[in-house]
Amino acid sequence: MPTPSEPMPLFPPGFLWGAAASAFQTEGAAATDGKGLSGWDAFAAAGRIKGGADAARGTGFHDRYREDVALLAGLGADVFRFSVSWPRVIPGGSGLVNAPGLDFYDRLVDELCARGIRPAPTLYHWDTPLPLDEAGGWLRRDTAERFAEYAAAVAGRLADRVPLWMTLNEPAEVTLLGYALGEHAPGRRLLFDALPAAHHQLLAHGLAAQALRAAGASRVGIAVSHSPVWTAGDGEDDRFAAGLYDTLTNHLFSDPLLTGAYPDEDIAALMPGPVAEDLAVIAQPLDFYGVNYYHPMLVGAPAGEAGGALDSFAGVGMPEGLPFGLRDIETAEHTDFGWPVVPDGLREVLTGLRDRYGKRLPPVIVTENGCSYEGTDDQRRIAFLDSHLRALHRAAAEGVDVRGYFTWSLTDNIEWAQGAAQRFGLVHIDYETLARTPKASYAWYRDMIAAQKRREPR
C-alpha cells in the first residue's frame, strides 16, 4: 500500500474520533481489587495462548491507565472505547458487587472526563466470569439474566458520566470461535450445536439494554462484527455455501437486533426458550449500531469450482465436515496476521447494512477497525488506516449515517489466543518493561484528527 499523500476528505461536523481496547487484553492486575477469574484466564492457564503470553499482566493498564489516557489526550481523541471486566465487578458472575473493582472504572471514567474524552464502555468483551463459564456459559439462559444484573450495577455507578454504552462485543466470534470451533475460550467444539450461545448473547443484549436505560444510560448500542462474504466459484454449491456462511456470521446477529426476527425459520427453530418472546426483548431500539470491520471472507463449497478449502485461517483450524470452505483472497495484500487488506470492504459492509435494513438501521459508529504490523515506523498501518477512512467517507457520501470511527487499538495488547504475537496498537508495548512508545501511526492519526477539527465549520 502506498503512503498517503492526498488530504483526508472532511467528515461531518461532530464526527467522533477514538481508539479502543478491552479489559482482558490490557488490564492485567488479575489478583488485585478482588477480581475473579474469567473463562479466558482458565484458557490461558491451560496453555491455549500462543507463546505463553502473560494475560494476567496484560499491558498493565489497570495500574497505568492515567498514562494511557494521556496518550489518548495526545491523539486528540473524542472517545475511548474500553471494556468493563465482568469478573472484576462481580467475581462470581452473580451476587454481590465487588466495590473495589467497580471503583477502578469509576476512577478511569473520572480521568477520561477530566481530559475531555468521552468514556464508551463495552460491558462484555469476552471475559465471562469463570463460575458461569463452568456452569455452561452462554449455552445457558441464566447467563443472560445474570448479565443484565451486572449491567445495572455498572450503570448505577457510571451512567451519570458515560454518554455511550455498548452491551456486547462481537457475539458472532464468541459463538464461532469459543463454542463451535473451540479456538477461543471456553474451548467448546460444538459446531452447529453452538447456536444457543448466539441466542443467549442476543437475549443478554436486550435485557442489558433495558437495565441500562432503567439506570439512566443515555445512548445504548452494541458492537457487531461484519464482513462482506464473497462467493468463490460460480457453482450452485459455492453460492449455497457462501450464503449459509453469510447468514451464520452476519445476519444471524443483525436481523434479530434490527428486525426482531431470525433470518431463517430453520435457524429460529434451533434456538432455545420462548424464541418469539425473546426476540421482542432482543430488538430493543438502538441509539447507534457499532460495526467492527477487518476484512472480507471468500467462501465456497468445501471442494468447489474454486478448489479446496483452507485447513486454517489466521491460526484458526477448520474442521472437516463443514458445509462451507474458506479461501484466501490472493489478489489482496495481507497484514502480519494473514488478513487480506480490502479497504472498500468497509464501504461494502455499511452500504449493505443500509440496503438491507433501511430506516431500521440506526446511526453507525465503526467501533473497531485496525491491523497487525510489526515495528514502530509502521507505514503500512498508516496506509491501512488512511485507505479505510477514505472508504468510510465514501460510504457516508453514499448516504450511510456514520457518526464515528474508533481504531483498534490504542496500544498493542494480548491478542487473545495469538498472545503477544500480533501488534494492533498505535502505541508499542514492550512486554518486558511495559514501556509505551508511540508509533508513526500514532502521529499520523493525531495529525489527521487535528486537521479534521481545524476544518470543521464553526
Map grid coordinates 448466539 to a residue.
198
How far CA 84 is from CA of 148, 158, 370, in Å, comes to 14, 11, 21
**If you ran DSSP here, which 8-state letter would residue 57 be given?**
T
Distance CA 413, CA 25 (A): 5
Q: What is the separation of C-alpha 264 from the centre of its chain, rounded to a whole number of angstroms?
A: 25
Q: What is the separation of C-alpha 156 from the centre of its chain, rounded to a whole number of angstroms?
A: 24
Omega before 5 cis (within 30°)? no
Distance CA 10, CA 444 (A): 16
Length, in residues, of the chain: 458
Q: Are 198 and 172 in contact (CB under 8 A)?
A: yes
Catalytic residue annotation: 170, 368
* Cell numbers for 293: 470491520
* Cell numbers for 196: 444457543
* Cell numbers for 377: 515506523
CB atoms within 10 A of CB 355: 11
Distance CA 430, CA 437 (A): 8
Map grid coordinates 509505551 to a residue.
436
Q: Are 448 and 392 in contact (CB under 8 A)?
A: no
Distance CA 112, CA 77 (A): 10
Distance CA 450, CA 458 (A): 15
* Cell numbers for 354: 443500509
Q: Are 82 and 92 in contact (CB under 8 A)?
A: no
Q: Are 85 and 21 in contact (CB under 8 A)?
A: no
Distance CA 278, CA 285 (A): 14
Omega before 100 cis (within 30°)? no
Instruction: Give every strand in the sheet of 325-327, ordered side by side.
Output: 229-231, 297-300, 325-327
Percent helix, percent strand, percent coil in the chain, to nearest 5: 45, 15, 40
Q: What is the separation of C-alpha 61 from the centre of its chain, rounded to a whole number of angstroms?
A: 19
Q: What are phi and psi of 456, to 5 degrees?
A: -65, 140
